């Protein structure tokens, strides 16, 4: 079996983000730390677990981003991936998920992947679109928010359970090749091993330039960005129960609610 795992480098959740008042663009501190997207760690781990069950499995990992994004490829190989591809693309405060999915599809189309995995969504933009768009572009079945995976080689299929609202699960069987987006909590991602990390540094990723791929229209553009609007501040009542009740009644009368 041949698996591709799509991963993304995202800024640390504590990173200071500013919106430029002149053009509405999002500015991130250039000194900010970046990590592998949280959900993508679970996708890599799930691929490695499949590999442990089916020993002939080969795992490729791919990321789209600037030079610093190579860091997440090393981590994925440290976890057990076999080969890495870095689709080199310039820094962007916003990139349409259609563009990202189209680039990945152009790279993946002729490589014979039986299964493509991705995290359920990226924690920086939270759109959860790249996986489903990629499946549509490649003409493959897709299941999202997957919390259980079982490969069924004899049937040429994959059995999955996906999380839906209310704690319910959908049980599905998809024909291979297929695309899955993996939900957090499906497994416990392992730490990279030293031997695998050394192999990753020695092996290096295959670098592909996004500018050499067929041009793609994003079909959408970021027209503005803004901070969340502040809600009205709350007020705490002090004293014993009677004092709090009197204070509350006074406020309600002042606001003409009574």
Local mean pLDDT, 10-residue blocks, the chain (258 residues): 96 73 66 88 98 95 94 95 95 87 96 97 91 98 98 97 92 98 96 91 91 87 74 78 89 78
Q: Edge-to-edge strands of the sheet including 178-182?
A: 169-175, 157-163, 142-152, 178-182, 115-119, 2-7, 58-65, 83-88, 206-209
What pLDDT score does 158 carry?
98
What pLDDT score does 58 carry?
98
CA 139 to chain CA centroid, Å, is 21
Structural domains of the chain, with CATH = 2-212 (3.40.50.620)
Distance CA 196, CA 243 (A): 65
What pLDDT score does 229 carry?
72
Contact yes or no for 137/102 (Cβ under 8 A): yes
Tell me the β-bridge partners of 83: 60
Helix residue ranges, H only, the chain: 38-53, 70-79, 97-108, 130-138, 194-203, 241-254
Q: Give the global pTM.
A: 0.84
Distance CA 54, CA 108 (A): 21
What pLDDT score does 37 carry?
94
What pLDDT score does 126 carry?
87
Q: What is the b/e burial string over 89-115, where b = at least 16 CB atoms within 10 angstroms of the residue's CB?
A: beeeeebbbbbbbbbbbbbbeeeebbb
What pLDDT score does 29 carry?
66
Residues in CB range of 123: below 8 A, 6 or more apart = 10, 13, 37, 38, 39
What pLDDT score does 30 carry?
66
What pLDDT score does 70 carry?
93
């Amino acid at each position: 079996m041949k698996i591709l795992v799509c991963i993304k480098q995202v800024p640390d959740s504590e990173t200071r983000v500013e919106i430029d008042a002149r053009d509405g663009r999002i500015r991130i501190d250039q000194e900010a730390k970046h990590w592998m997207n949280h959900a993508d760690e679970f996708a890599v781990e799930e691929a490695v677990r499949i590999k442990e069950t089916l020993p002939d499995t080969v795992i490729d990992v791919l990321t789209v981003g600037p030079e610093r994004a190579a860091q997440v490829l090393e981590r994925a190989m440290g976890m057990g991936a076999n080969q890495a591809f870095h689709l080199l693309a310039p820094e962007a405060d916003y990139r349409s998920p259609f563009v990202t999915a189209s680039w990945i599809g152009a790279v993946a189309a002729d490589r014979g992947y039986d299964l493509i995995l991705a995290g359920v969504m990226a924690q920086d933009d939270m759109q959860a679109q790249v996986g489903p768009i990629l499946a549509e572009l490649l003409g493959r079945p897709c299941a999202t928010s997957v919390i259980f995976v079982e490969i069924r080689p004899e049937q040429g299929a994959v059995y999955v359970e996906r999380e839906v609202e209310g704690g319910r699960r959908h049980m599905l069987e998809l024909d291979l090749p297929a695309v899955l987006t993996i939900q957090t909590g499906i497994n416990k991602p392992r730490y990279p091993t030293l031997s695998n990390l050394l192999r990753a540094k020695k092996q290096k990723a295959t670098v592909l330039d996004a500018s050499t791929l067929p041009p793609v229209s994003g079909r959408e553009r970021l027209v503005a960005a803004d901070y969340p609007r502040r809600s009205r501040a709350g007020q705490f009542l002090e004293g014993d129960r009677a004092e709090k009740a009197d204070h509350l009644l006074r406020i309600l009368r002042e606001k003409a609610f009574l």
